[in-house]
Structure 1
Amino acid sequence: MAAAILTVNVGSSEPNGAKQVGATGIHKRPVDSAELRAPGPKRGGQGSGVVGDFIADRRSHGGDRQAVYAFAREELDYWETRLDVVLANGSIGENLTTAGIDVDAALIGDRWRIGGDVEVEVTGPRIPCATFAARMGVRGWVRTFSEHGRSGAYLAVITPGTVRPGDPIEVVHRAEHDVDVPTTFRAYLGDLDAAEQVLAADCWPEHENEHLRDMLARRRS
């Protein structure tokens, strides 16, 4: 199957007992189309890079480097089988449910063209949180998801525009290093070898690199 968008998913405000913010937009539902744009900084920006998509905890989510979240339908199918549940597109909080492209094989800095005009850049993994665990309702979900190691990818919006179900996805630029999304996921979770690999590639902004350097220093002291 050629790489394409299966659904474009948008969330609205719902109660959230897992965090003090008291609301969440994690349960996203397919829409006919949506505009992607760069939302600005995480704190003080417009939140999601998908116009109309709700983000409550803007200290932890959203902003230019977490503007759009992509997750493969193939991974949803894996979890359906493993958990014996039904997972509709958008049900784990992804804005773009894809097919025919291995989202987790993407390198940090890869760029995709979606449809005719929209261009996005792969920026990193999704880190599971209390809201995600509550949404799934699976005992030990954060650990289970993390051990599987395929988180899907956050995307920055480089060229804004409208995306629709059925839009093709084309990889138009491949990064010149070997750091893929799972490697950055492992680095976030404390894997020292992965952290060193990310730092050596210099594929993240300085504030992210500083976090990894601090982690390495603490763990080795």
Structure 2
Amino acid sequence: MNVGRAQAVDYTDQPEGLTGIDKRPVDGLVRVAAPGPKGTGAGGVAGDAVCDLRHHGGDDQAVYAVAREDLDDWERELGRTLGNGAFGENLTTEGLDVSGALIGERWRIGSAVVLEVTCGRIPCRTFQAHVGERGWVKRFTRKGAPGAYLRVIEPGEIRAGDLVEIVHRPDHGVTVALQFRAETTERELLPRVLDAGTALHPEALAEAQAYVAKYGAPAGG
């Protein structure tokens, strides 16, 4: 479990110059709940600051998860240590293929909390500056392992070390990685993303619908 406080930096385009991307591990129970509409400055994890109201926070991006295995892979590639929370994630998981999760897949964490996968994370300039790697947005996009945003289905308290159990897997094949590629480097995949239906983040769903309205669906799609 990782949370970040609002900090003033010189690399964000937010009017106040604040970001909450620098998240650090916390001990003890942490409350997780649906925060309400996007744009209110609320996230789903208690004590975690949301500063970019345009791109972060709200019910459909209440929690962000990254696999520890992906951080380990980046450590090997970058030649330096990446602690839990290094990518601004609230949850650093072990033994879970986060980017391979299906849109609409549900995870029970601990005894009470249930989260639902909504979309992948699109990298931005703030993320690049925080990581401190030139060309980071392109490198992160090229790897195609973005981690997952989740909405809160059942609120409650969780702590580091809680078991994550997959309690529902939809019958479509739209993974977080596929949805991410469709939105970034392979936009011809956008019609396939519609198979995920309303479980998909509303903005990503609208983008896929607009693409199909403009270009149509492929034959047999």
Measure the CA separation in 1 of the matches of 2:26 and 2:59: 22
SS class of match (1:105): coil
Shift of 1:206: 5.3
- Corresponding position of 1:104: 99
1:10 aligned onto 2:3: yes
Deviation string, structure 1 residues 12-45 (Cα, Å, up to 9, x no partner): 111232333111111101111311010001123x
Measure the CA separation in 1 of the matches of 2:161 and 2:154: 19
Correspondence list, 1:164-203, <5 A = 164-202=159-197, 203=199
The size of the alignment, in residue pairs, is: 212
Read off the aligned partner of 2:194 and give its amino acid letter. Answer: L
The 8 Å contact of residues 121 and 146 in structure 2, kept in 1 or not, is answered as yes
- Corresponding position of 1:48: 43
Question: Normalization by structure 2: what TM-score?
Answer: 0.90
The 8 Å contact of residues 124 and 137 in structure 2, kept in 1 or not, is answered as yes
Correspondence list, 1:16-55, <5 A = 16-21=9-14, 22-32=17-27, 33-44=29-40, 46-55=41-50
Question: Cα RMSD over matched residues?
Answer: 1.7
Measure the CA separation in 2 of the matches of 1:201 and 1:97: 25
Read off the aligned partner of 1:148 and give its amino acid letter. Answer: K
Measure the CA separation in 2 of the matches of 1:207 and 1:93: 21
Alpha-carbon distance change, 165 to 200 in structure 1, aligned in 2, over 3 angstroms: closer
Q: Which of the pair has the greater relative contact order for Cα pairs under 8 Å at 6+ separation?
A: 1
Correspondence list, 1:69-218, <5 A = 69-202=64-197, 203-204=199-200, 207-215=203-211
Shift of 1:190: 4.8
Deviation string, structure 1 residues 152-191 (Cα, Å, up to 9, x no partner): 0001011111111110000000112000001110121152
The 8 Å contact of residues 190 and 215 in structure 1, kept in 2 or not, is answered as no
Shift of 1:59: 1.4
Shift of 1:47: 1.7
| Structure 1 gaps, min length 5 | 1-7
- Corresponding position of 2:219: none
Alpha-carbon distance change, 205 to 52 in structure 1, aligned in 2, over 3 angstroms: closer
SS class of match (2:99): helix
Deviation string, structure 1 residues 187-211 (Cα, Å, up to 9, x no partner): 2115233201102442536543332
Moved more, 200-209 or 169-178: 200-209
The 8 Å contact of residues 50 and 56 in structure 2, kept in 1 or not, is answered as yes
SS class of match (1:133): helix
Question: What percentage of residue pairs aligned between the two structures are identical?
Answer: 49
- Corresponding position of 1:3: none
Deviation string, structure 1 residues 58-100 (Cα, Å, up to 9, x no partner): 1110110100000011111000000001100011100011001
Measure the CA separation in 1 of the matches of 2:74 and 2:35: 31
SS class of match (2:151): strand
